[in-house]
Amino acid sequence: MLKSIALIVTSAALAAFTSVHAQTSAAAPPNDAQIAQIVLTADTVDVDYGKLAVKKTKNAEVKAFAETMIRDHSAVNEKAAALAKKISLTPEASETSKSLESNGHKELKKLEAMHHAEFDKAYIDNEVSYHEAVIGVIDSTLIPNAKNADLKALLESGKPIFESHLEHAKELQKSLNK
């Protein structure tokens, strides 16, 4: 039962982000204003997952991870907002940012209904696939299309943060599956 739910959650998340990925690749390349909004939305979605996890989990390691997600993605968002202001860029919604947001809400609803170990596992599984998807979008779409040098630099310094989170989540995934 637990396994099957986790499997459904993981595959749903993967499907959602694969489609996000496919859309951004196929659609017109995002401009800087759209890239800024994609970064802000991607960070906000993960901060929301983290806030829910801090509230729900009883596992100290999962809680510490969720706190790091909140801390780091909030920091990236602050930096992105400050940069947008500095270069007079008004973040602009796009198909990518909209689907990130709606998929984020759906995932959050699913997680809200879960408890204890079931929640921990689903949350961490989602973090693994979410970070994989976001790193994919940063690499394939955001960095190549960013025109402003500061925005490109922000994306490039954001990438190792997401990669570190992915490694952290994978380690937790291993320990939760034991």
Partner 1 sequence: MSQPTFQRNRQGVDYGDEPNVQNLHAAIGREERNGRVTIKPFSVWVLVVFGLAFFFAGFWSARTGTHFTASSVGSGNLPPAAVQSTSPAVQTGATSASAVQSTAANANAPVVAHVAMKNMKFVPATIEVKSGDTVEWTNDDITAHTATAIPFFDSGSIASDQSWRHTFTKAGSFPYGCTFHPDMKGVVIVK
List interacting residues with partner 1 (CB under 8 A): 64, 68, 71-72, 75-76, 79, 154, 157-158, 160-161, 163-164, 167-168, 171
74 burial type by CB count under 10 A (0-12 exposed, 13-18 middle, 19+ buried): middle
Query: Minimum Å distance from CB 12 to partner 1?
Result: 28
Q: Give whichever of 28 and 82 is closer to partner 1, judged by the CB atom.
A: 82
Q: Give whichever of 9 and 138 is closer to partner 1, judged by the CB atom.
A: 138
Query: Minimum Å distance from CB 171 to partner 1?
Result: 7
Q: Give whichever of 114 and 172 is closer to partner 1, judged by the CB atom.
A: 172
Largest CA distance in the chain: 51
Can you tell me the distance from the alpha carbon of 164 to that of 75, in angstroms, rounded to the nearest whole number?
15
Can you tell me the distance from the alpha carbon of 170 to that of 167, in angstroms, rounded to the nearest whole number?
5
Q: Would you say 128 and 25 are in contact if contact means Cβ atoms under 8 Å apart?
A: no
Query: Minimum Å distance from CB 168 to partner 1?
Result: 6
Can you tell me the distance from the alpha carbon of 16 to that of 88, in angstroms, rounded to the nearest whole number?
32
Query: Minimum Å distance from CB 43 to partner 1?
Result: 11
Q: Give whichever of 118 and 150 is closer to partner 1, judged by the CB atom.
A: 150
Query: Minimum Å distance from CB 153 to partner 1?
Result: 11
Q: Give whichever of 18 and 175 is closer to partner 1, judged by the CB atom.
A: 175
Residue 154 Cα distances to 70, 86, 142, 151, angstroms: 18, 13, 11, 5
